[in-house]
Amino acid sequence: MKCNDCGFENKDTAKFCSKCGKPLGVQPKTENSTSKIIIVALVIIILILAVSIGYFALANNNSQGSQAQSASGNGGGNAQNTGDNSQQAASTQSSQPKEWKLIGTYSGSGSGSQSINVPPGEIMIKISAFPIKNYVTNHLYVNGAGQSVGVDWGSTSAVETRSDSITFNLSTQQTFTIDYYETVSWQVEFYRYQ
């Protein structure tokens, strides 16, 4: 019998290794016992998670129920709660930083024009276009509310993408016109600072 510990060959009837003295015939721990431990640990973790989720769901239902009950309790208290909630919502909105948010993207190719309604606020328009060839009349223009932004190419201009942008304030909704001529591709993006 071969010793599992040192590998020494012993007699088949031996109960202990003649070289190292370890018991013979005892199988080392297999991966099966390790995987059983892992499975038991996973089951325990899943049970803990299930109990935690159940507890929080129950606590959330109870708090919503008590809020609904207090809101229906008396009219004066309800009006006060509504005021507090609107103040909290306003303070949450004002604490969020403003950023440029995309409100419209328009693109195409060839020649033509489009009309776009732009809402009031602080507006930024970004444009870019690539011409078919360097004609005198290749262009992309955006006009409206006294504002204009555009790119164009002359007969000696390099055939390349050109870009531009403009920022301004609108007090009311305005209509802008996108005018493009002899373009391979063009894109206009409208942003609002909010």
Residue 27's pLDDT is 57
Angle at 101 between CA 99 and CA 103, to 5 degrees: 155
Angle at 102 between CA 109 and CA 87, to 5 degrees: 160
Q: What is the pLDDT of residues 13-62, one digit of tens each?
A: 888 888 998 888 755 555 567 888 899 999 999 999 999 898 888 877 76
Q: What is the pLDDT of residues 133-180, one digit of tens each?
A: 877 789 999 999 999 999 999 888 888 999 999 999 999 999 999 999
Residue 59's pLDDT is 79
Under 8 Å between Cβ of 133 and 182? yes
- pTM exceeding the 0.75 threshold for the entire prediction: no
Q: Which residues contact 43 (CB under 8 A, 6 or more apart)?
A: none
Tell me if the domain spanning 100-193 has CATH number 2.60.120.
yes
Q: Over 80: is that where the pLDDT of 93 sits? A: no
Under 8 Å between Cβ of 121 and 99? no
- Residue ranges covered by each domain of the chain: 1-96, 100-193
